[in-house]
Amino acid sequence: MASLFDPAEGLGLLREVGAYLRGHFLLTTGRHSDQFFLLARLTEYPDALEPWSEALARRLSPYGVRTVVGPAVGGIIPAYAVASHWLGSRMLFAEKDGKGGMMFKRGFSIEPGESVVVVEDAVTTGSSVAKVVAAVKSAGGKVAAVGALVDRSEGRLRFDEPLVALVRVDNIPHWEPSNCPLCREGVELTRPKS
């Protein structure tokens, strides 16, 4: 059965809970943008997150896996919420390893050959997801698919695994600081994750 999740309604909810922001933002890449997704504000409200996690679980269920892995910190709650829709599932998260990658800590392990899905809140460059995929493979596992609540990569991501996203947002402007029109206008720069 197909999910009844509506991407336009989803974007409206993100605006309502303060997870889709407009302003002048410093991105993690160092670039500037007039739009920012702070999906921690969505995961702050379990009732609001529920239709998202249910829809993503449905779209990932054809991959037949029952282990969900998320990157710390942004992917932990969405990964857990997706796993909660699958009977007998488990959820792990990967953390920074101090060397630029990610690894499993806290006693988490993946069996050799175990198939997983990686779930993230939002993907832009895909760097966190790529590090989690590498950690899964390093542990001997296989990644069947990548799931995301929001894909703002504008089609630039090229994972070996299929990307399943609930909302795709294209044409979000971003600039090098030296070419930022908002800086030229004197609009205050904010760091939303601070």
Helix runs in the chain, H state only: 7-16, 40-43, 46-60, 76-83, 127-138, 181-184
Confidence category of residue 2, pLDDT binned at 50, 70, 90: very low
Token couple for 47:
């009732």
Q: What is the pLDDT of residue 124?
A: 85
Contact (CB, 8 A) for 68 and 83: yes
pTM of the model: 0.91
Domain ranges of the chain: 45-171
Looking at 3.40.50.300, 3.40.50.2020, 3.40.1350.10, 3.40.1160.10, the CATH number of the domain 45-171 comes to 3.40.50.2020
Contact (CB, 8 A) for 93 and 121: no
pLDDT at 92 over 80: yes
